Chain A
Amino acid sequence: MTSIVTDRMQTPERATQRKSLRARLQEWLPKIVLAPSFAITLFFVYGFILWTIYLSFTKSKAFPSYTLTDARAYQRLWRWTFESNPPSSWYTSITNMVIFGVLYIVFCLAIGLFLAILLDQKIRGEGVLRPIYLYPMALSFIVTGVAWKWFLDPGLGLEQTMHQWGWTSFHFDWIKNKDYVIYTVVIAGVWQASGFIMAMFLAGLRGIDSEIIKASQIDGASPIQLYRRIIIPLLRPVFLSALIVLAHMAIKSYDLVVALTSGGPGGSAWLPSNFMYEYTFKRNEMAVGSASAVIMLATMSAIIVPYLYSELREKNR
């Protein structure tokens, strides 16, 4: 064994002499590598958030103004919050947000779980069905919007098709109706995301220890009891992850409203994200737009911070 190249022994010796500089660089390298990303995050995320908050306390109109004034933008939003008749754009946006958020999340979770449970019954052709449910997630909101706009168009889409098939009393014009247009956004949104939620639940179901299921069957649980009492409670972490993903997508939804409804009749399909965009870039009310962005951020933080906190702490153990 000693025959294996003894002159190699010198290499570490030589390395030792150069050590101090190289070793110190090696020690710092990880931090040097991480630093740009962290600096970028600090500036372009947290710095910008502060910047936006600052702007919301100015009189910025079409161009940013940097003279701090007062909370007038928030006062206006506060006033608009209660202006329901006729509804202010802000009132419409936040009520739409509640309607859209709740329905979108509930339907995505329900359909996603339902499909996952159905698919988990040893289905032949699962490999074909799964991508069919999942593919809408690959599409951009713009494409989804274009497709559903066409599909729901009273003159050319579903309604006309039903008429041609003889159901002449069929009437479906939600997409042109200011009271119902937000529900078309829900339909398109659920269509797009529920398959993805299904995939999350399916993976969760596949991750459950099969011995638990065998044990509960020996205990005499019926299939429905099995799901209700054993499996669904075990999926709690998936529910939580799915909820976070959906809440996040719901608050960010902007493109779908634009592409599907172009904002709806009189802005009746607006979400806060649309409100922000319109007020900031089109109505020259930058301060109000910034204030609405701050409120969106605060809402999202209220949901996400406890979740992240518990996730990171959990990993501590």
Chain B
Amino acid sequence: MSAATVGARPAGSRVLNRIVIYGLLLVFALVYLIPFFVMLVTSLKTMPEIQNGNMLALPKDPTIQPWIKAWGEACVGLTCEGIHGYFWNSIKMVVPAVAISTLLGALNGYVLTKWRFKGHKLVFGLMLFACFIPFQSVLLPMATVLGQFGQLGKVFTNAFGMNLGFGNSTVNLVFVHVVYGLGFTTLFFRNYYEAFPTELVKAAMVDGAGFFQIFRRVLLPNSLPIIVVTVIYQFTNIWNDFLFASSYAGSGDVMPMTVALNNVVNTSTGVVEYNVNMAAAMIAALPTLLVYILAGRYFVRGLMAGAVKG
């Protein structure tokens, strides 16, 4: 704790001090909460109430109709089947992408710290730099390559009656997110394993454990903090991604949640149903919000301990 406790000072000014501090903290808390609050209450109001009422007022007659509509009936472009399909698209994309990139990151971190070879720094440096590139600089070639995958998929379909995943938008997005998430997952695990006692690895070697046995039996069981960080980080990043999603799965029923939400909001047929839009936004935000609320504490702690040096 670095809190500057003030020693001998007049009691009055100390009380005033505390009031100011708490006051400021509460004002900021309100500012951070208001947009969310507005989203929530709006999603529970009826359209007439929205058009005539106050944005900040609590709903007079709360209804979950907008949520039901957003889930099952809202129009995305021309199809009006709600966002549930896109929600599942995102789930189907995010789960494998997070799992694969985390596992690979863990293995890479393990090799880069405990099985060092000449040039390990260069390898890590190149992977690390990849974290920071603006994705615009790879967007177009990836589109071309994914197009080729699609062609390959057609060839496979003709040959074997199935495309083996080539040309499937969800598979494409999983692949893209694994490729461009590797740098971060490797960084997280490398920094964590850097501080992991090497003597344990040596002891396991003397005990006769091989490369994968050491990883599975010694490192992995002791990696929970960094696994939590990596999974949360990757989950939010991939779930929230819009650039790749809109570039490679920007239309039709393969869209992930973020793209669909943007389309719901911008669908201009008929009256704009703000309550449904807000409900859709809430649904899109729910998974990551839950993750942050449930495990945010570990995330920040682990991030500071492992990834971002401070």
Contacts and interface: CB of A to CB of B under 8 A. Distances in A.
Given A150-B274, A200-B310, A208-B2, A156 B32 contact: no
B130 A142 contact: no
B149 to A, nearest CB: 13
Interface of B: 1-7, 21-22, 24-25, 28-29, 31-36, 38-39, 42, 50-51, 54-56, 104, 107-108, 111-112, 115, 117, 121, 123-130, 132-142, 144, 179-180, 182-183, 186, 194, 210-212, 236, 239-243, 247, 258, 261-262, 265-266, 274, 277-278, 281, 284-285, 288-289, 291-293, 296-297, 300-301, 303-304, 308-310
A272 to B, nearest CB: 8
A299 to B, nearest CB: 8
A245 B309 CA distance: 12
A135 B293 contact: yes
A146 interface: yes
B112 A34 contact: yes
A235 B285 CA distance: 33
A46 B123 CA distance: 12
Size category of the binding interface on chain A: 35 or more
A248 B288 CA distance: 21
A133 B55 contact: no
A251 interface: yes
Given A146-B278, A241-B308, A297 B141 contact: no
Given A30-B111, A44-B142, A255-B258, A156 B25 contact: no
Given A123-B22, A137-B292, A138-B285, A241 B179 contact: no
B191 to A, nearest CB: 9
Contact of B261 (A146, A276, A315): A146
Contacts of A138: 236, 285, 288-289, 291-292, 296
B32 A141 contact: no
Contacts of B186: 37
Given A134-B300, A151-B55, A210-B1, A140 B112 contact: no
A227 B266 CA distance: 47
Interface string A139-152: 11111101111110
A108 interface: no
Contacts of B242: 140-142, 254-255, 258-259
A123 B18 CA distance: 9
B129 A289 contact: no
A257 B261 CA distance: 15
Residue of B32, B104, B212 most packed against chain A (CB within 10 A): B32
B166 to A, nearest CB: 16
A274 B308 CA distance: 29
Given A146-B281, A203-B310, A31 B117 contact: yes
Contacts of B21: 118, 121, 123
Nearest to B292: A138
A118 B182 CA distance: 36
Contacts of B304: 199-200, 203-204, 207
A279 B126 CA distance: 29
